[in-house]
A = this chain, B = another copy of it.
Amino acid sequence: MLKISKKADYALMALQHIAAVQFGDVTPGRVVNTKEIAEEYNIPLELLAKVLQTLAKHALIESHNGPKGGYLLARRAHQITIAQILESIEGPLGITDCSHEKDGELCMQRENCHIRTPLLKVQDSIAQLLNNMTLQDMMGGTPLITIQSPAAQGVER
């Protein structure tokens, strides 16, 4: 519980990989295709493809068609937050059902519910945490590259 989905997991791995290739020392600027990532991390190819398409639709990466095609980060790693990634894949994140309910459908226990307010506070804390963490912060012990980032916080390297 309080668990992120596999698709979101895959998205994080893929983005980490793309970032590592793109800004790494070996072949910087190279595009990365779906198959390469799928094989590297043992992710089902078709599923990963859909995840990447979703990320592209949300403008976190950009796709290039045809042979020699593949994906590139749309922005730099420190400009992509973990929250953005998760929300691209799983929709707006909310601890509780009544977090962002439209006018029409409000939950049955709303009138007497005393736990909504405190729960929303918890949610805010988590959202804040995820919004302050970027893809850059996940680029710790990558074998491909050694990023010298002064601003990477909270991740051991």
**A residues adjacent to B (C-beta < 8 A):** 1-6, 8-9, 12-13, 16-17, 20, 40-43, 82, 86, 89-91, 93-97, 108-109, 112-115, 117-119, 121-122, 125-126, 129-130, 133, 137-143, 154-156
Contacts and interface: CB of A to CB of B under 8 A. Distances in A.
Copies of this chain held together in the complex? 2
A65 B30 CA distance: 69
27 contacts: A1-B8, A1-B86, A1-B90, A2-B86, A2-B90, A2-B95, A2-B126, A3-B95, A3-B96, A3-B97, A4-B95, A9-B97, A9-B115, A12-B115, A16-B114, A40-B112, A41-B109, A41-B112, A43-B109, A117-B140, A117-B141, A117-B156, A118-B137, A118-B154, A118-B155, A122-B130, A126-B129
A48 to B, nearest CB: 11
A58 B13 CA distance: 37
